[in-house]
Structure 1
Amino acid sequence: MADAFTTRTIDIATGSKETVHDLTAACAAFLRDAANGRDGLLNVFVPHATAGIAIIETGSGSDHDLLSVLQDLLPDEEDRWRHRHGTPGHGRDHVLPAFVPPHATLPVIGGNLELGTWQSVLLVDTNVDNPRRQVRLSFLG
């Protein structure tokens, strides 16, 4: 039972602009070590109050569309937000996890992440004040 749960934290450089960072390859690499061909669940969690995890298509512009929609829904106008520290409009970053949650739990079959054909696991970070993020990957199986 000791190998039923395995967890690892990875560091991601997000830089100083809004970003969508693809975590799919890192999830697959983690599962190669942790799942060892077993079925189970992968939980992806970002322990930050201003970032989230999304499962969407990338590479066709959807990642940029997501950032555009978030900008429309949560504009970075300073006078709109009561939470006012950091760069102007930073209050929006603290609302982001209500729209893009800080976690996702995904099925693992035979040690492989079971995503749909065009799905990717993404870190969504609109907070330009934090250039580095941590993501915790946990396998239960």
Structure 2
Amino acid sequence: MRQASTILSFTTPGRGLTEITREVAGWLGTTGIGEGLVTLLCRHTSASLLIQENAARAVRADLAAWFERLAPEGDPYAHDDEGPDDMPAHLRATLTGVTLPIPVLGGRMMLGTWQGIYLAEHRRIGHTRQIAVHVIGE
């Protein structure tokens, strides 16, 4: 059994979904691990990770609109230390989660045809976000 890990950094343009599938797959290819499990961890509390359709852009727009309805800015949140988008960002990250486990077979992540890995930025302005990636296998 072997393992490898790294931290990948991504600069987001602000609120929205940034696809990171290619970067994760590229790193995975350098490990030489053909079968196992890759795990991703978003090291932030106002950003998150999700697997979602990567073909139709409307999916991303609909998700953004849904997040806005579910955790809107302007509600009377006690936590607003960094502005009105602070607590809604934490709520959205809680809903989507910060970890993803993905099986690896043949040196590739076993994502479905239309699935991509997304870093969800829940703050209005862009940030540099770190994703810890670990793979274990043979």
Both structures adopt the same fold (TM-score exceeding 0.5): yes
The alignment covers a number of residue pairs equal to 136
Aligned to 1:31: 28
Q: Secondary structure at the match of 2:123?
A: coil
RMSD in angstroms over aligned alpha carbons?
1.4
For 1:126 and 1:97, locate their aligned partners in 2 and report how far apart those are by CA, in whole Å: 7
1:138 aligned to 2:134? yes
Partner of 2:83 in structure 1? 87
User: Quick one: distance in 2 between partners of 1:50 and 1:13?
Assistant: 14
For residue 55 of structure 1, what is the aligned residue in structure 2?
51
Q: Distance in 2 between matches of 1:52 and 1:110?
A: 27
The one-character-per-residue Cα deviations of 1:44-72 (angstroms, maximum 9, x if unpaired) are 11010111111010241212211111111
Measured in 2, the distance between the counterparts of 1:21 and 1:74 equals 20
Question: What are the ranges of 5 or more consecutive residues in structure 2 without an aligned counterpart?
Answer: none
Shift of 1:89: 3.2
Cα 1:37–1:134, aligned 2, differ >3 Å: closer, same or farther?
Answer: closer
Match of 1:11 in 2: 9
Distance 1:11 1:84 in 2: 26
Unaligned runs of 5+ in 1: none
Same amino acid, percent of matched pairs: 24
Residue 112 of structure 1 aligns with which residue? 108
Residue 80 (structure 1) shift = 2.3
Runs of 4+ residues over 4 Å off in structure 1: none
- Please give the secondary structure, in 2, of the residue aligned with 1:45: strand
Q: TM-score, normalised by structure 1?
A: 0.89
